[in-house]
Structure 1
Amino acid sequence: MAAATTRRIAAEAEAPLASLHYCFRSKDELLQEVYYYLSRDYAQALPPVPASDAGLESVVLAHARRVWERMLAEPHEQVTTFELLLRRFRVDAEEEPKALAMNRSMYEGWVRSTSDLFEAAATNAGEEVPTNLELAARLFISGIDGISMQHLADPDPKRSAALVDMLARSVSGAFVYAQDSAKTS
């Protein structure tokens, strides 16, 4: 990340340096746009999930698989994500709060889009919306991150696919519902 100068970025993109500077005033501004893409636009680039009334468990599994297929097709996006998230440890103390805020913003985008997808799946199927939906979305994202890191370090497509399916089943099994909470109170 430190070696990613605007000159090198322009060369890699096969774009004139002047064009890069016309679009972005600094490397930080360019990185901010990459953060935005990874948190805002990434979900829109995924293939659609099953029918809106397929149910929450079905959508969790379909979403896990489509995110995983994207990771396999575009592993550089996941590597870039990890690099950007770790950037906060490579900047000086005065820049760290900004880098931390960018990380928080990226995760908030992922949590929000995942929670919205899961909530819509439950609602559209006439199912109860879990009370711990945000935590379950965070668990889902953490699991995808972990499986991605493991796969990038030691690729095993069969094992990784099994882990993705196991993650989806685990997240679905971790949902807490108001009716369940009332029974244990």
Structure 2
Amino acid sequence: MARVPTAERRLQFVRSAARVIAQDGLAAATTRRIAAEAEAPLASLHYCFRSKDELLQEVYYYLSRDYAQSLPPVAASDAGLKAVVLAHARRVWERMLAEPHEQVTTFELLLRRFRVDADEQPKALAMNRSMYEGWVKSTCALFESAAVGAGEEVPANLELAARLFISGIDGISMQHLADPDPARSAALVEMLASAVAGSFTYSADAQAS
């Protein structure tokens, strides 16, 4: 049997952990269960990750820091900020529909800090912050690049607008997972993109007020 490269095996375990957490909950996501999902030896998992916490940290990264890199490209760089906001909303939603377990796993991980002992809560909170920082950073970078590429001014409230975008996607995802309605959810995603595009403020606006 051909040997699987370590980097490939690590990603295999991370993806398997995300599926297990979505299917069975965080408490049931033991290393043995994750290895079985990956159809790989438990010893291989322990070779790739020193602990379950390290594996969970990589799942956080996979769903936040690395998330944007796995999405299809957006519109051309000169399409303008509003067009890119809409294109980004659509591609994020398409990913949610294709891989709904990722969103379920995300919610499970974010709620983890309420399910651990008091001495573990600071670490869990830090992991939550790192997840949101990954999303905010990638979203801000995309929106700023779109504005600069089109010769537009970068909004003064770029980070808040990015957080509004992320909050909206989270909320629509939660509603859709609880009560699926593809047409309604698609309309909400379009409305979210329009709302975010309309929320941008600029330095001239601040001076005029």
- 1:150 is matched with 175
Confirm whether residue 74 of structure 1 aligns to residue 74 of structure 2.
Answer: no
The structure whose RCO (Cα within 8 Å, separation 6+) is larger is: 1
Identity percentage of aligned residues: 85
Between the aligned partners of 1:88 and 1:54, the Cα distance in structure 2 is 41
Does residue 149 of structure 2 align to residue 124 of structure 1?
Answer: yes
Say whether 1:97 aligns with 2:122.
yes
Residue in structure 1 matched with residue 72 of structure 2 by the alignment: 47
> Distance between the aligned counterparts of 2:119 and 2:30, measured in 1?
20
Residue in structure 2 matched with residue 166 of structure 1 by the alignment: 191
CA deviations over 1:10-29 (Å, ceiling 9, x no partner): 11111111101111121111
Alpha-carbon distance in structure 2 between the residues aligned to 1:15 and 1:103: 29
The residue aligned with 2:62 is 37
1:108-139 Cα offsets, whole Å, 9 max, x none, are: 01001000100110111011111000000000
Query: What amino acid is the match of 1:76?
Result: H
2: distance between equivalents of 1:31 and 1:2? 12
Structure 2 residue 65 is matched with structure 1 residue 65: no
- Does the alignment pair 1:9 with 2:5? no
TM-score (normalised: structure 2): 0.87
Paired with 2:27 and 2:122, the residues of 1 have a C-alpha distance of: 18
1:112 corresponds to which residue?
137
For the residues of structure 2 that align with 1:109 and 1:176, how far apart are their CA atoms?
A: 23
Moved over 2 A (4+): none
Shift of 1:104: 0.1
* 1:183 Cα offset (Å): 1.6
Q: Could you tell me how far apart the structure 1 residues matched to 2:35 and 2:51 are?
A: 12
- Letter of the 2:45 partner, please give it: L
Long gaps (5+) in structure 2: 1-25
Q: 1:134 is matched with which residue?
A: 159
> Superposition RMSD on alpha carbons, in Å?
0.7
The answer for unaligned runs of 5 or more in structure 1 is none
Letter in 2 for 1:115: C
**Amino acid of the structure 2 residue aligned with 1:167:** L
